[in-house]
């Protein structure tokens, strides 16, 4: 014979274990679905970036210039892109400067893709990218000036 107190405690223990197991299963499911949703969003952004890049690259050179961006600012695909990154189409030159990481005056698809993914990360990411680019340019200039100073002082 089993004591009614132990029977109640055993039932409570089994119930607690059941709910704990269900919590673990639910947490795993939610985490997996969340990861898949993030991956799907990233893939969607990559496909959108490819469509926009191809729409802007009218000469099919594999590079986008400021003139190409300006000439395509009235098309629906490009307007949607500007809206998605929270940039006014009149600021196309600033967008080109932000995305042009090598300073060539043109953007290849890799620069466009990386910049677009970063711009989609937050509403004011464009400003942060511009600051980062300016800092990079400043440090390159400062290094070249320091090298010149070392040369003139005969240190190098």
Please name the residue that has the structure tokens 């990411």: 125
Q: 22-31, 36-45, 63-72: which has the highest mean pLDDT?
A: 22-31
Helix (H) or strand (E) holding 85: none
Model pLDDT for residues 53-90, shown as the tens digit of each residue: 888 888 889 898 888 888 887 888 888 877 777 777 77
Q: Tally the C-alpha atoms within 13 A of residue 49's C-alpha that lie toward its C-beta.
A: 22
The reported pLDDT for the residue numbered 106 is 86
11 vs 91: which has the higher pLDDT: 11
pTM of the model: 0.58
Q: Please tell me the predicted confidence (pLDDT) of residue 15.
A: 96
Predicted confidence band of residue 10 (pLDDT cuts 50, 70, 90): very high
DSSP structure class, residue 64: E
More confident residue, 155 or 15: 15
Q: What is the pLDDT of residue 67?
A: 84
Between 26 and 88, the higher pLDDT residue = 26
The whole-number pLDDT of residue 127 equals: 65
As given in the structure block, the two tokens for residue 84 are 């998605």
**C-alpha 146, offset from chain centre:** 34
pLDDT tens figures, 91-142: 777 777 777 777 788 888 888 888 777 776 654 555 666 677 778 888 888 9
How many CB atoms sit inside 10 A of residue 124's CB?
Answer: 9
pLDDT for 23: 95
Average pLDDT (45-51) is 85
């Amino acid at each position: 014979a089993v004591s009614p107190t132990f029977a109640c405690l055993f039932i409570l223990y089994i119930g607690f274990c059941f709910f704990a197991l269900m919590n673990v299963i639910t947490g795993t499911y939610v985490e997996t679905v969340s990861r898949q949703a993030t991956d799907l969003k990233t893939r969607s952004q990559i496909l959108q970036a490819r469509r926009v890049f191809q729409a802007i690259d009218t000469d099919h050179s594999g590079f986008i210039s400021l003139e190409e961006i300006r000439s395509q600012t009235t098309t629906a695909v490009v307007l949607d892109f500007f809206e998605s990154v929270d940039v006014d189409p009149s600021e196309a030159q600033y967008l080109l400067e932000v995305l042009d990481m090598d300073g060539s005056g043109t953007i290849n698809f890799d620069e466009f893709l990386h910049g677009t993914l970063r711009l989609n990360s937050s509403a004011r990411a464009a400003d942060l990218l511009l600051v980062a680019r300016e800092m990079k340019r400043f440090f390159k200039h400062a290094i070249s000036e320091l090298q010149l100073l070392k040369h003139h002082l005969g240190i190098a």
